[in-house]
Amino acid sequence: MTLGRNPTVLVLAAAAVGLLGLGLLMPDWLRFLVQISLANSLAVLGVMLQMRAGLVSFGQGLYYCIGGYAAGMSGHLLGVSDAFALLLLGLVASILVAMALGLLMSRYREIFFAMLSLAFSMILYGLLVRAEALGSTDGFNVPPATFLGIAFKGGEHRYATYALTCALAFVVALALNRYLVSTLGYLGDAIRENEIRVEYLGASVRRTLYIKYVIAAGVSGLGGGLVAIAVGHVDPDLAYWTTSGEFVFVALLSGTGNVLAPFVGSLLLEFIRTFAFAYAPYTWQMILGGTMLLLILFLPGGLWSVIGARAERS
Amino acid sequence: MLTAVAIVVDGAVFAAWLFIVSVGLTLIYGVMRILNIAHGSLYALGAYTAAWLVGAYFAQGYPPLAGYLLLPAAALLVGVVAGLAIERGVLRLMYGRDEVIMVLVTYAIFLVLEDVIKLIWGVDPYFAYQPYGLLGTVDVLGLPYPIYDLATIALAIVIGAVVWWGLNRTRVGKLLIAVIHDREMSMAVGIDVTRLFAVTFVLGAVLAALGGAVSAPKISVVPGIGVEVIVLAFAVVVIGGLGSVGGAMIGAVIVGFARAAAVHLLPEAELFVIYAIMAAVLVVRPYGLFAKPEARRI
């Protein structure tokens, strides 16, 4: 932990500007890949926030899916097309659900937290799979988003959604970075270490975890909304347990040391996935699983623990 | 009336299947405190091995009745080979870690095994319908049911009885119960816990593979079957109480009948109802309906 000025903010700003600029030069497939991984990293950030307090959510897909479906349904059924309105609706829907479920979830720990979060996300999956009005297992298409009344076309539209994703990811990362060094943020780490001492210090464990849960849900919901806009399609798999499992995987791969970590991890995963799909379609999950085992054995702090340790030394 | 019969029989068949696929999961959790996501892959491995053996056997035109023996044989083969490989190769190195970390470890093993299956058997579906069709059907109060399905119920009862007998009436079983109750104390009195872990994991793996082998004749064996099974098995063991064999039985019956009722009365709720019950049980009794709560460490 460095006490002086946090270099994370500078790195974040540089990354945001760099990505916005590079986005103009990147070929379409690469820009899309970056865009998706940025949106997914928001959901991973949600998992990571809870992991810092020692809670592993095996159902973060719930909020990812709510965000995506809320944005998609407003576009599909209500005819809203403004990207900001869609994302806001997704965000609000996730936060509202989290405020209700959080009352319950903040009482659970360890394996029971994992199981209950899994159960809730599978409930949503079960409902969506059978909802014919929403396309059952196929989901439905989300109409192209407009931006404050401007409807871009073709390449401009693709760049606009990309820029929006970059900007929002930057803002969220900035806010969470601030949150992690606030009292509430540090309380999360303290809860992981020793819950009872936190209570003795006069802080409320349940309140801290509740707020954390709602924040994590909001961030994940935003990620889901961005994915819906980027892909132009949503389906129930957003809430399936394998989606949530992947978020946990990335959070573990990248480590929980810094808000930057999930972005790096998520980008890495998307690259591995894209190339492995092309060159080794039958072994890519094996590569992922093997990596995960090696990480758990030799690098329990995730990739970030390597970068973080180096930064601290210099 | 016919709907009621259908709900009861379908429910019983589904409950029996659920018990077979989830009893291994709860056994492993009870003894080792590992929530084994790789259970789904072991199920799939069992299904593939059985489908493959049965297909080859019937293609040769050997006497059909002996073909049934291939199902448990496949389960035994998969359980011992894969179970030992996983336990000795990976889990052994991870003992003593946090329960949640162990979930991630088995999730990683699950990912690896999913691809191992694709590498061995490819992505084309396998069929082993012969054992299912050969037994014919029987009328249950006016509804024809495949005898194979009804035999599944008998098999579930036999497995339940054997597991109960094994745990309560044999030396190894009593040692296991001692470990379930207090691992440290068991080590202190000289029980070789590490060896028991290996035995338990292999047993659990055999049961998982048996679930797959028994299901193989009823389904088309395709990549991804393990993914669905593992969440269902989770629901069953969580409802009954993680680590409790009797609980798995009750959980299977509850989920089985709830799903059968939903299928016949309100098809939209088929999946929803399973996970709604799981969530409800976790809310009211987080330790499950039949497991005793543990003192919280914190």
User: How large is the angle between the packed helices B99-121 and B225-240, nearest 10 degrees?
Assistant: 150
- How far does A268 lie from chain B, in Å, by closest CA? 17
Predicted local distance difference test score (pLDDT) of residue B249: 87
Predicted local distance difference test score (pLDDT) of residue A95: 92
Predicted local distance difference test score (pLDDT) of residue B295: 47
Tokens coding A60 = 């973060």
Question: Dmax of chain A from CA atoms?
Answer: 58
Q: Is B297 a domain residue?
A: no
User: Rounded distance, CA B105 to CA B86, Å?
Assistant: 11
Give me the mean pLDDT over the A258-285 stretch: 83
Question: Which residue is listed with tokens 């009292």?
Answer: A183
Predicted local distance difference test score (pLDDT) of residue B292: 64
Q: Is B289 a domain residue?
A: no
For A120, name the nearest residue in chain B, comparing CA atoms only: B279
Helix (H) or strand (E) holding B190: none
Question: Which residue is listed with tokens 């291994």?
Answer: B24
- Higher model confidence: residue B110 or residue A11? B110
Q: Which amino acid is located at A72 in the chain?
A: G
Give me the mean pLDDT over the B268-283 stretch: 84
Measured distance between the N- and C-terminal CA atoms of chain B, rounded to whole angstroms: 53
- In sequence order, the 6+-apart residues with CB closer than 8 A to the CB of A166 are A16, A19, A20, A23, A35, A38
Complete domains list, chain A, with CATH: 7-313 (1.10.3470)
Residue A282 touches chain B, beta carbons under 8 Å: yes
- Determine the 3-state secondary structure of A130 from DSSP: coil
Give DSSP secondary structure letters for A31-81: HHHHHHHHHHHHHHHHHHHHHHTT---TTTHHHHHHHHHHHHHIIIII---
Highest mean pLDDT among A69-83, A269-283, B2-16, B39-53: B39-53
Predicted local distance difference test score (pLDDT) of residue B209: 92
Give me the mean pLDDT over the A29-53 stretch: 89
Confidence of residue A311 (pLDDT cuts 50, 70, 90): low
pLDDT digits (tens, 9 = 90+) for A101-121: 988 888 888 888 888 898 899
What are the chain A neighbours of B286 within 8 Å (beta carbons)?
108, 112, 116
| Backbone angles phi and psi of A32, in degrees to 5 | -65, -40
Least confident of A152-161, A234-243, B41-50: A152-161
- How far does B10 lie from chain A, in Å, by closest CA? 20
Tokens coding A43 = 């959901």
- How far does B279 lie from chain A, in Å, by closest CA? 6
Predicted local distance difference test score (pLDDT) of residue A4: 46
Residue A122 touches chain B, beta carbons under 8 Å: yes
User: Rounded distance, CA A94 to CA A98, Å?
Assistant: 6
Give me the mean pLDDT over the A126-149 stretch: 79
Q: Is B290 a domain residue?
A: no
Question: Dmax of chain B from CA atoms?
Answer: 62
Q: Is B292 a domain residue?
A: no
Q: Which of A282, A283, A287, A298 to mutate to test the interface with B (most CBs of B within 10 A)?
A: A282
pLDDT at B284 over 90: no
Confidence of residue B207 (pLDDT cuts 50, 70, 90): very high
User: How large is the angle between the packed helices B2-32 and B245-265, nearest 10 degrees?
Assistant: 150
- How far does B105 lie from chain A, in Å, by closest CA? 6
- What are the E-state strand segments in chain A? 140-141, 233-234
Binary contact (A286, B268; C-beta < 8 A) = no
Considering CB atoms only, which of B111, B123, B275 is closest to A285? B111
Which of A:167-206 have CB within 8 Å of B? 194-196
- In sequence order, the 6+-apart residues with CB closer than 8 A to the CB of A173 are A12, A45, A259, A260, A263
pLDDT at B101 over 90: no
Q: A–B: how many Cβ contacts below 8 A?
A: 123
Binary contact (A111, B235; C-beta < 8 A) = no
pLDDT digits (tens, 9 = 90+) for A214-268: 999 999 999 999 998 888 888 888 888 888 988 988 888 888 778 888 888 888 8
Q: Which amino acid is located at B262 in the chain?
A: A
Considering CB atoms only, which of B119, B238, B272 is closest to A123? B272
Binary contact (A122, B271; C-beta < 8 A) = yes
Q: Say if CB B185 and CB B177 are below 8 A apart.
A: no
Cα separation values, B99 from A271, B35, B94, B176, B180, Å: 31, 8, 10, 19, 15
For chain B, the domain total comes to 1
Which of B:103-142 have CB within 8 Å of A? 103-105, 107-112, 114-116, 118-119, 123
User: Rounded distance, CA B264 to CA A208, Å?
Assistant: 45
Q: What is the CATH number of the domain that holds B244?
A: 1.10.3470
Least confident of A11-20, B81-90, B100-109: A11-20
User: Rounded distance, CA B102 to CA B123, Å?
Assistant: 29
Which of B:201-240 have CB within 8 Å of A? 227, 231, 234-235, 238
Share of chain A above pLDDT 70, in %: 96
Q: What is the domain extent for residue B198?
A: 2-284
Binary contact (B110, A292; C-beta < 8 A) = no
User: Rounded distance, CA B71 to CA B53, Å?
Assistant: 8
Which of B:246-275 have CB within 8 Å of A? 267-275
Predicted local distance difference test score (pLDDT) of residue A222: 92
Predicted local distance difference test score (pLDDT) of residue A164: 87
Nearest residue to B51 via CA among B223, B168, B263: B223
Measured from the Cβ of residue A55, the count of other Cβ atoms closer than 10 Å reads 25
Find residue A234's DSSP bridge partners: A140
Q: Is B291 a domain residue?
A: no
Tokens coding B270 = 């088929």
Residue B243, Ramachandran bin (φ over 0: left; ψ between -120 and 50: alpha; else beta): left
Question: Which residue is listed with tokens 């940025």?
Answer: A38
- Higher model confidence: residue A26 or residue A93? A93
Predicted local distance difference test score (pLDDT) of residue A314: 54
DSSP state letter for A203: -
What are the chain B neighbours of A252 within 8 Å (beta carbons)?
104
Q: Say if CB B5 and CB B11 are below 8 A apart.
A: no
Confidence of residue A6 (pLDDT cuts 50, 70, 90): low
User: Rounded distance, CA A262 to CA A270, Å?
Assistant: 12
User: Rounded distance, CA A293 to CA B11, Å?
Assistant: 39
Question: Which residue is listed with tokens 């997704």?
Answer: A90
Question: Which residue is listed with tokens 């399609």?
Answer: A233
Share of chain B above pLDDT 70, in %: 97
Measured from the Cβ of residue B110, the count of other Cβ atoms closer than 10 Å reads 24
Which of B:18-37 have CB within 8 Å of A? 35
pLDDT at A14 over 90: no
Least confident of B25-39, B46-60, B236-250, B277-291: B277-291
Tokens coding A221 = 């919901």
Highest mean pLDDT among A66-70, B97-101, B222-226, B242-246: A66-70
Measured from the Cβ of residue A167, the count of other Cβ atoms closer than 10 Å reads 13
